[in-house]
């Protein structure tokens, strides 16, 4: 028989085995619970992974589909962006040519923005306008016929000319074109297939709220500048480009609003035949008989036929302000590309060049300090100097406008008889407030020249290397630095 000590030891051992077995059982349950939790977590992660994998595959398929059909959108408000006059006058043929010119111009700009990626992109053009109202406006300018919707021949041929080109009549309701343009822009602005948008609606500040969210996104949007470009769009930090071969870059005389005030009277016309001694009208001549070198004085009471005492050239009353030139000088148009405007006396009239804004002026001066632009290359039709030290790289329209404005203050050696089409210097003064005294280099006649266009003459051939009207290839630092931009007349110190 087992003794009491042995029984007590066995009892203690049994209790120890039971406790150990119970702890082991508890640990096993705990381990099983953890395993179950891990298994459930794994199943959830696996499910999420499969869903994510499926989503990524769908995205890749979608991306591949989008990459297969990339395009560039050209969005135009046709009520503010008018095609060149000669294109509109040509009717159906003009519509086809306008589509071709627009396609070629956009391709050039697309390569500038996208590089070789532009070769893979198709060009989609959407033009919205009030065709009925636009037809009436064009008819008043004798560009189309007087029948209703006479512009439709141009618009329909434009649409047929290219697969993705559409000139759409937005109706004659107010803001009809605006509404369409806004919705199309929102549809494609964040579309991956749409690689770039060229927006041509910068005449209307109503589009500012549409474009402002994309401020600075030069990789997505380029603004197109035309006749009525509003300066507010320049503050959006987006590239601005022009299509001079497609759209009118200035308002036509028929569209220009008259100046509210003209502060100067028209200068009396002087009889050039009398000065040569061959006037056959005598005292009945409607022009003033005055010998060269004589001066006219002003009287308080005008007469039917002005006499020598009716005008004094030194008087401030005949000073022409910028409003006069803006109102009376011819603007750049289709004719000015091929012909030269002259007055009834056969004297050349320069195309109006508006004064640059202070901001544009400052940007031009900064660029000139780095490297000066070549006048012959950018304005004269080409530079034949292979070792030219001046800049031949691309220049924006603002820089070209400053160059034109400055060079118009140089006197052409041929004077008003110049017939060189690419002559970029001045043939008469068009500086507001100039009284024809030093430091202005133009003579008195160049300040009272009749600027009414009598006809457009065929130019003579111009040589880019020999017969130049000015013997400078670029504007020097002294010239740009001396032209401080203010409201007073700018001195012609070169």
List, for residues 347-406, the tens digit of each pLDDT value.
999 998 888 887 888 888 888 888 888 988 888 878 888 888 888 888 888 888 888 888
Q: Does the pLDDT at position 474 exceed 70?
A: no
Confidence bin at 290 (pLDDT 50/70/90): low
Distance between CA atoms of residues 372 and 474, nearest Å: 6
DSSP 420: B
**What predicted TM-score, i.e. pTM, was given to this entire model?**
0.44
The mean pLDDT of 270-285, rounded to a whole number, is 63
Please provide the DSSP assignment of 378-398 as one string: HTSS----TT--SB-S---HH
For residue 49, the SS3 value is helix
- Report pLDDT for 127: 96
Q: Are 267 and 282 in contact (CB under 8 A)?
A: no
The mean pLDDT of 438-443, rounded to a whole number, is 82
The mean pLDDT of 324-343, rounded to a whole number, is 84
Please provide the DSSP assignment of 322-380 as one string: HHHHHHHSPPP-TGGGT-EEE-TTS-B-PPP-PPPPHHHHHHHHHHHHH-PBPHHHHTS
Q: Are 149 and 167 in contact (CB under 8 A)?
A: no
- Report pLDDT for 463: 39
Confidence bin at 129 (pLDDT 50/70/90): very high
The mean pLDDT of 54-58, rounded to a whole number, is 83
Nearest alpha carbon to residue 302 among 268, 346, 273? 268
Most confident of 89-103, 235-249, 321-335, 385-399: 89-103
Distance between CA atoms of residues 18 and 130, nearest Å: 97
Mean pLDDT, all residues of the chain: 79
Please state, for a pLDDT cut of 70, what percent of the chain lies above it. Answer: 78
Q: Does the pLDDT at position 172 exceed 50?
A: yes
> Higher pLDDT residue, 160 or 259?
160
- Report pLDDT for 9: 83
- Report pLDDT for 260: 33
Q: Does the pLDDT at position 224 exceed 90?
A: yes
Confidence bin at 298 (pLDDT 50/70/90): very low
Distance between CA atoms of residues 137 and 200, nearest Å: 20
């Amino acid at each position: 028989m087992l003794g009491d000590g042995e029984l007590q030891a066995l009892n203690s051992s049994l209790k120890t085995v039971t406790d150990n077995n119970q702890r082991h059982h508890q640990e096993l349950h705990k381990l099983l619970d953890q395993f179950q939790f891990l298994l459930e977590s794994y199943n959830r992660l696996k499910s999420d992974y499969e869903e994510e994998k499926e989503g990524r595959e769908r995205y890749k398929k979608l991306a591949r589909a989008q990459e297969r059909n990339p395009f560039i959108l050209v969005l135009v408000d046709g009520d503010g962006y008018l095609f060149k006059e000669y294109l509109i006058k040509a009717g159906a043929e003009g519509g086809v040519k306008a589509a071709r010119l627009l396609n070629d111009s956009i391709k050039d700009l697309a390569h500038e923005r996208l590089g070789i990626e532009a070769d893979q992109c198709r060009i989609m053009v959407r033009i919205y306008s009030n065709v009925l109202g636009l037809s009436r406006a064009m008819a008043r300018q004798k560009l189309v016929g007087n029948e209703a919707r006479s512009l439709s021949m141009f618009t329909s041929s434009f649409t047929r000319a290219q697969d993705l080109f559409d000139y759409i009549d937005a109706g004659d309701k107010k803001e009809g074109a605006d509404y369409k343009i806004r919705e199309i822009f929102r549809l494609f602005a964040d579309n991956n297939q749409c690689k770039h948008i060229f927006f041509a609606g910068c005449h209307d500040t109503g589009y500012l709220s549409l474009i402002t969210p994309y401020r600075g996104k030069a990789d997505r949007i380029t603004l197109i500048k035309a006749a009525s470009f509003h300066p507010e769009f320049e503050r959006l930090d987006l590239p601005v480009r022009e299509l001079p071969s497609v759209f009118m870059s200035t308002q036509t005389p028929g569209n220009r609003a008259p100046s509210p005030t003209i502060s100067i009277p028209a200068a009396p016309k002087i009889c050039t035949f009398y000065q040569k001694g061959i006037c056959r009208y005598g005292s009945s001549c409607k022009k003033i008989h005055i010998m060269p070198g004589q001066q006219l004085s002003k009287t308080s009471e005008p007469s039917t036929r002005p006499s020598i005492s009716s005008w004094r050239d030194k008087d401030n009353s005949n000073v022409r302000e910028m409003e006069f030139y803006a109102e009376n000088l011819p603007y750049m148009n289709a004719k000015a590309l091929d012909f030269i405007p002259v007055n009834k006396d056969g004297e050349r009239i320069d195309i109006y060049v508006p004064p640059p804004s202070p901001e544009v002026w400052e940007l031009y001066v900064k660029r000139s300090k780095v490297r000066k632009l070549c006048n012959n290359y950018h304005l004269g039709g080409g530079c034949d100097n292979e070792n030219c030290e001046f800049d031949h790289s691309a220049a924006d329209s603002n820089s070209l406008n400053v160059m034109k404005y400055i060079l118009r203050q140089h006197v052409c050696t041929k004077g008003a008889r110049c017939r060189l089409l690419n002559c970029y210097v001045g043939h008469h003064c068009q500086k507001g407030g100039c009284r024809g005294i030093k430091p202005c280099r133009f003579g008195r006649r160049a300040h009272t020249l009749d600027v009414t266009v009598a006809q457009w003459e065929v130019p003579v051939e111009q040589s880019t290397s020999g017969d130049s009207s000015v013997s400078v290839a670029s504007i020097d630092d002294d010239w740009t630095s001396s032209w401080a931009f203010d409201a007073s007349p700018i001195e012609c110190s070169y």
